[in-house]
Every structure is written in C-alpha cells, then in structure tokens.
Structure 1
Amino acid sequence: MRTIKQQHQAISAPIADLITYRALPTQSVEHLDPFLFLNHHGPQVYRPNNRGLPFGPHPHRGFETVTFILAGDIMHQDSGGHESVIEAGGIQWMTAGSGLIHAEISSPAFKRTGGDLEILQLWVNLPARHKMTEPRYTGLQKADIPKVAQDEGHVILHAVAGDWFGTAGAMQPLTDMQLATVEMRLGGKLALTIPAERTIFFYTIRGKLRVNGQETEARRLLEFNHDGNELQIEALSDAVVLLGHAAPFQEPIVAAGPFVMNTEAEIQQAYQDYRAGKFGTWEG
C-alpha cells in the first residue's frame, strides 16, 4: 500500500459572505503536480433575494478549472460565447488554454429563492505543450455523469474523467488524468490500484474514513508518497470524497493571479495579451 506523507487541513478563507475553505495551496503544501488549487465553498444556506456567488468576470490562461456543484447551482458565461446553468450533481470543465474571460455566478432563480450551496473548484495544470491550446468549456448535469457501483452499492463513483472499473468518464481530458466524486456509506470499502509514479489527489468533502490504515476526516487533503500502488479506503461514516490521479508533468510552475505558466516571461506576456484584448471581449 502507498503510505500517506501528510494530511493537510483546509484553511478558512472566506470570500465576501461565501464560506470558503482552501485545501490547496496552504502553508503546508504548495501543489500536488499537476493539481494546483482547490477551494471548498460552503456548505451554507443562502436566504431568498441573495446576491449569489461573487465571481464576476476575470481572466485565466494556462490551466483548467473543474467545478463540482454539490448543492445549489452555477451560471457560467465566458468570452468564447459559452453559457450554462449547472445544478447540483453536475460539473463544469473549462480549459482556459491560451486565455479567456469568464464569470461564475448564481442563476437568477437561486438568487431569488436561495437554498443550500456547496461547490468545489479544482485547478489542474496544463503541460507546456497545451498551455496555449484553444479555450473550451463543457457543462454537464448530474445525469450526464456515469455512475459506477462498487461493494454491492455501498460505494458509488461518479466518473468525471478517465476510466473507472471499465466505465469511461464523462470527460476525456487533454492529459492523462482521472477524476471522480465518490459517495460511500458507513462500512463501504473501495480498493484501487494506481501506479506508484502517479500523483493521487484525495480530498474528503464530508465524513470520516480509513485510508491505507490512517484515519482522516472532512476538509483534509491527503498527500501520498510514491512508494506503492494500492489504495484501500473504508468509510467510518457516510462520506464523500473528491478522488483523482494523474501523471505529474515535472515542469516549472510560475503562477501569478489568474495565470499559470512555465516562466515569468510567459506570465508578463499573459498580462500584456489580456490588456490588449486578446482574451476576447466580455459581453455579460
């Protein structure tokens, strides 16, 4: 079995009135190549006639955002002309690539009625060869994401990307990456074989688990050593996990605000291109 190098506690990092815990980066972990960033928004309840999510138009270049809507909704708009409202159980996959402007706000219906809200946003790096790829966006509702049952139904994987027990995920990414959300009932068990050289991304959204012999709980990110290929998970309560793994790029990472590139010069170029209008125009 792989050993756990460290458990990293997500830190409180509220954004306006939005409850937010940042799991990556924190003082104890900078990144898990190629996984760069994870914000856990909520859970919280919005009152009727609320202002909704605070993420107005902003640019990105050089990476991908994967957004998991656990409760509530998100309305996406971007400078490539994409628009959608994704509801609970769905995901948004945006490849920023060479650059675009987007906004992630609540739908008019959610602002009017309020309700439960819980959202995860994960940033995944792109390798140098894909950093300037053409931007694209896919929004998927819950019904669009294949479900894979394990342990006689005590474990349900929502296959977002890659291959899970022979079932292809809803997305086939540009890079060699697998992502799923995993629902586990008390006592449920899941065993996976993941080659030792791959980076595992394991974040407990809620509940308590035993992972390769160690107990962990909600809002903790596990960092693994590269010393084994077996992952064994047991639910000590009902639990939900964000689980992924990927081949690390082992490239320089230079990040500044909304841009993630390989060199400082590329970051400066990104700012110049954004100011020159090369990320498109905002029509929202």
Structure 2
Amino acid sequence: MEETVFKKVKYILPAEKIDMDGFPVKQALPTHKIQQVDPFLLLHHATVKFNKNRPAKHQGVGPHPHRGFSPVTFIIEGEVRHRDSWNHDQVAKAGEVQWMHAGAGIVHSERPSEEVVQATGKQEIIQLWINSPSSAKLQPPEYTYLSIETIPVLISEDEKIKTKLIAGNYNQQRGKVIPKSELLVLWGNGQEGGIENYLIPQDFNCMLYLIKGSINIKGYGLVEAEQLVVFGINGDSIEVTLKHDSQFLILSGKPLDEKVTQHGPYVMNTQTEVLEAMRDYQMGKMGILIED
C-alpha cells in the first residue's frame, strides 16, 4: 500500500473587497500575486441584501455575455434565478449549483428570486470561473442545474462532515456535471471536531476556499474563513479538522497549460480571439436575452 503524501500549502490568499460595477464582492482569485491556478481563473464570494421595494428582475446582475470558460455559481444562502439566451430559466436554492459552460458564447443574467427578495432579502453565493481547453472554447453552450437531490454526498467516518461531489469522480461516484477538462470539485459542510482526508489526483492543481468557520490543515495549521488555500502540485492528500462548524470548497483540476488571454467576460487563447468574441456579441451571435 502506497504511503499517503500530504499536499503542502503554497499560499494563503485572503478574499479582498472589490467593486464589480457597483456590486460589492470579496475576491480571493486573481490577486496581484497570482493570476490563476490553472484551470481556475476567478473566485468571488458575494453577500447581498436586496431591496424589498424593488422587483427582483431589476436587482442582481443583468444580462451579460461570456465565452470560453465555465462560470459556476454555488448558492450558500437565498436563491438565484438564472436566465440565458439559450432559453434556460432556472431558480437554484441554498445548497445547489448552477454550472454553465459558456462555450462559443451565451448571454445570461443572475437575479434573486422574487420569493427571496420578499422573505429575507439576503443572498450569499460563490462564483467560480473555470477555464476551458482551446478545443472546447467554441463548442455550443451548456447549462447544468445541480439540485440537492441530484448531488452525490460523501460522509466522513466520524459522520461529522458531509461532502457534495459536484464534478469529477471520487470514491466510486461520479458528479452530475460533465466538465470540459479533468476536474474534482467538492463542497464540504461539517460540525466542529469533524475530520476528513481528501484524496486528490497527483497531477492536479488544488485549492481550498473556506466559506465559513475555521479549520486545521494537516501539515500546515489554522485557516480562517474567507481565505483561499493554494497547495503545491506534489502529494495526493489533504486532511482537514474542523475547529468550528465550517463550510468549504475543494477545487482541483488538471492544468491545461495553455496561454490565457482575458478581456472582461471573454477568456480565450489569443487577442484576436477576444476581439472576435467582442464582435460576435455586438452582432448578436451569442443570442439575446430579453427579461420580461
């Protein structure tokens, strides 16, 4: 039996407040130190309070385009209504995921549901951008909704940590999403004192984002909420001990090792391809989203 080799912590990146066109978010990736952890490009953590006196369709993030990557939304609290130019219209609740492969181009909006605006007015989400290999950048767009009922759940030996398998293969189970490259995406939620050892493929880059709580990473030490842990590529295991009730994402994937050229919502391999994306959007080739 091969000996377990724990991954070493390379960086701890605190999520920093930024302004996204009047929309306040905390950004853990990219930072001035690290542009990407291939294939992961961006991680935003947003907590929003909506106005009960305004219609939900006028709040949140309005129609905007994407091309060349997968924007993925994890709903921590509240509800998100996704609509796009390929006629998807879906409300995802807390504990669920909306996974969209933008491919050749799509226009979508992310609003709160009317029910959430009237009930609590609160929404908390994580948005993750995952780069697509060049071979998939111009494929037709896809949208996958992961309801609570369809997400496989792994339970730790001490039964204190439940881990949702969002994408990839783990412990003889397969996530519902079929990603465009090799990924393992896990969403853990557990009680104080819980311990879990996660096995990560040897050649995968790996990060852990702590949404809430505090944890101890074996071989490193304490990690606080709203910090992104970036591991070195060597090793095949991460062991976490929960110091408080905690929630976290483990994001790992095989590096694409391709050139990245990004301009706003377009992530391509060359500047020419970015200019083509801008032109195609202006010409209406990514479709049109009219919100009624």
Question: Which amino acid letter does the alignment assign opposite residue 280 of structure 2?
Answer: D
With 181-190 and 44-53 compared, the bigger mean Cα shift is at 44-53
- State the partner residue of 1:234: 241
- How far has the Cα of 1:225 moved from its partner? 1.3
String of CA shifts for 1:124-174, please: whole Å, max 9, x gaps. 000000000110112222222121111231110011111222222222222
- Structure 1 residues 126 and 166: CA distance shift in structure 2, 3 A: same
With 133-142 and 108-117 compared, the bigger mean Cα shift is at 108-117
TM-score (norm 1): 0.94
- The 5 A counterparts of 1:144-155 are 144-155=150-161
- State the partner residue of 2:107: 101
With 216-225 and 142-151 compared, the bigger mean Cα shift is at 142-151
Give the length in aligned residue pairs: 283
- State the partner residue of 1:264: 271
- State the partner residue of 1:128: 134
With 31-40 and 195-204 compared, the bigger mean Cα shift is at 195-204
- How far has the Cα of 1:51 moved from its partner? 5.8
Q: Contact between 1:72 and 1:116, CA under 8 Å: does it hold in 2?
A: yes
Identity, in percent, stands at: 32
What is the alpha-carbon root mean square deviation over aligned residues?
1.7
Q: Secondary structure at the match of 1:266?
A: helix
- State the partner residue of 1:12: 17
Establish whether residue 86 from structure 1 lines up as the match of residue 97 from structure 2. no
- How far has the Cα of 1:184 moved from its partner? 2.0
- How far has the Cα of 1:89 moved from its partner? 1.1
Q: Distance in 2 between matches of 1:19 and 1:279?
A: 27
Question: Which amino acid letter does the alignment assign opposite residue 176 of structure 2?
Answer: A
Gaps of 5+ in 2: 1-5
TM-score (norm 2): 0.92
- Structure 1 residues 231 and 82: CA distance shift in structure 2, 3 A: same
Q: Contact between 1:50 and 1:114, CA under 8 Å: does it hold in 2?
A: no
Q: Contact between 2:52 and 2:118, CA under 8 Å: does it hold in 1?
A: yes
Q: Contact between 1:47 and 1:113, CA under 8 Å: does it hold in 2?
A: no
Establish whether residue 33 from structure 1 lines up as the match of residue 38 from structure 2. yes
- State the partner residue of 1:138: 144
Q: Distance in 2 between matches of 1:63 and 1:244?
A: 16
Q: Contact between 1:49 and 1:113, CA under 8 Å: does it hold in 2?
A: no
- State the partner residue of 1:218: 225
Q: Distance in 2 between matches of 1:151 and 1:116?
A: 34
Establish whether residue 48 from structure 1 lines up as the match of residue 55 from structure 2. no
Q: Distance in 2 between matches of 1:15 and 1:244?
A: 23
